[in-house]
Each structure stands twice: as C-alpha cells, then as structure tokens.
Amino acid sequence: MELRVTKYGEPILRKKGKEVAVFDKELDNFASDMVDTMREAEGIGLAAQQVGRAIQMCVIELIPVNGGDEFNHKYDGSFVPLDLIMPLVVINPKIIPLSELETPYEEGCLSFPDIHGEVFRPDHIKVEFQDLQGHLHTMECEGLLSKCFQHEYDHLHGVLYIDRMKKSELAPLQMEINRLKRVTKQNIKKKKG
C-alpha cells in the first residue's frame, strides 16, 4: 500500500527516530508499504519520517546499471549481487566512516520535489543494521550506495540534506525551499481547518 510522502515543513522530518525494539508483523507490513511508496515515487531510499513515523527504519533499493559493481560493496563481509538483497530494509543503523575523504554528489530527496544540490560526504563507509527479523548485518560500500545510506541515516536523526549543503550551494535553492515550506504549511492548515 502506498503511503503519503511527507514534505519539507512538516515537523516529523525534524524528529529523531525511536529505536525499533519489536520486530513483528506490523513492522513487516509497514516496511512493505515503505517499499511500495519508494517504488511508486521512483526513489532509491525512503526513511520512516518521510511517511509520518519517527522510528529508526529506512528502505533502500539501488542496483548498479549494466550489471557492474560500482559500489564496491561487501554485505556481511562478502560480495553478494545487490539484486539478491534489494530492496533492503535497514533498521537501527549505525554508520562508521572508513575514509576521511569527502566527495560531492548531487542529491535529491522525495520530501523536496525537484530540488537537487551537491552534498559532500565520506565515500567509504560501513553500516551496521538489523533486518526485519532483528538479525544483525553489515554493509561496507562506496559510491552512490554509500551516499544513499548516509542520506537516509540523517533522516532517521532529523537531519536533512540541505543542512549539509555548502552556503554557496544552498543560496540559489533557498527561494525554492522557502516556497516549498510555505505550501506545506498551508496544506497542513487546510487539513486541520
């Protein structure tokens, strides 16, 4: 089932997610709704805050084109073709940066329709997380997969990609961002009124 994607200006996007402690059928259903929503919106990642719940859970679906492994990833310590493990449900993630070097990537966000900007983040990371059964996993990765994990991880802590943009990157986007916030607030008012 598709869920409504929250937009910039909704307070939920600034809420830190609560750690997931109960791995039950309800969580399972919610994860599957999140995957449906991400696919419908043609996104590569979606955090729980983006569908109205502040918990430590996100979904990611990213498969390299042309069958190449452009993310140099290791899942639980070894190479596993990504199409076998995607979509990935990521619960209670912790991120360990493995490189000091931060590289730029042009990011977008489903909560900021049509607003793209360059964000610098570490390229090489390791993520520890749980799956829907509560089992622990690790993902070591580079490139877009690494950026995607970090973008979603930020959402789970109420941090948004605009917070990480350089001033010079943010300045030309500011009007657009303010307009989005205004429209979102008007829509919230309408619903309440």
Which residue has its beta carbon closest to Zn ion? Answer: 109
Is residue 5 at the binding interface for Zn ion, with CB under 5 A as the rule? no
Report, in Å, the least distance between residue 66 CB and Zn ion.
Answer: 26
Closest CB to Zn ion among 119 and 141?
119
Closest CB to Zn ion among 133 and 170?
170
Write out the chain in H/E/C secondary structure: CCCCCCCCCCHHHHCCCECCCCCCHHHHHHHHHHHHHHHHCCCCEEEHHHHCCCECEEEECCCCHHHCCCCCCEECCECCCHHHHCCEEEEEEEEEECCCCEEEEEEEECCEEEEEEEEEEECCEEEEEECCCCCEEEEEECHHHHHHHHHHHHHHCCCCHHHHCCHHHHHHHHHHHHHHHHHHHHHHHHHHC
Closest CB to Zn ion among 72 and 159?
159
Closest CB to Zn ion among 130 and 150?
150
Q: Specify the stretch interacting with Zn ion by CB under 5 A; choose among 17-25, 32-40, 105-113, 134-142.
A: 105-113
Contact pick of 31, 89, 109, 119 for Zn ion (by CB under 5 A): 109
* AA identity, residue 42: E
10 flagged as catalytic: no
Report, in Å, the least distance between residue 192 CB and Zn ion.
Answer: 25
Give the active site residue among 10, 140, 142, 152. Answer: 152
Provide the token pair at 95.
């991120």
Q: Specify the stretch interacting with Zn ion by CB under 5 A; choose among 55-63, 101-109, 171-179, 183-191.
A: 101-109
Q: Site residues (CB under 5 A) for Zn ion?
A: 109
Q: Which residues are catalytic?
A: 152
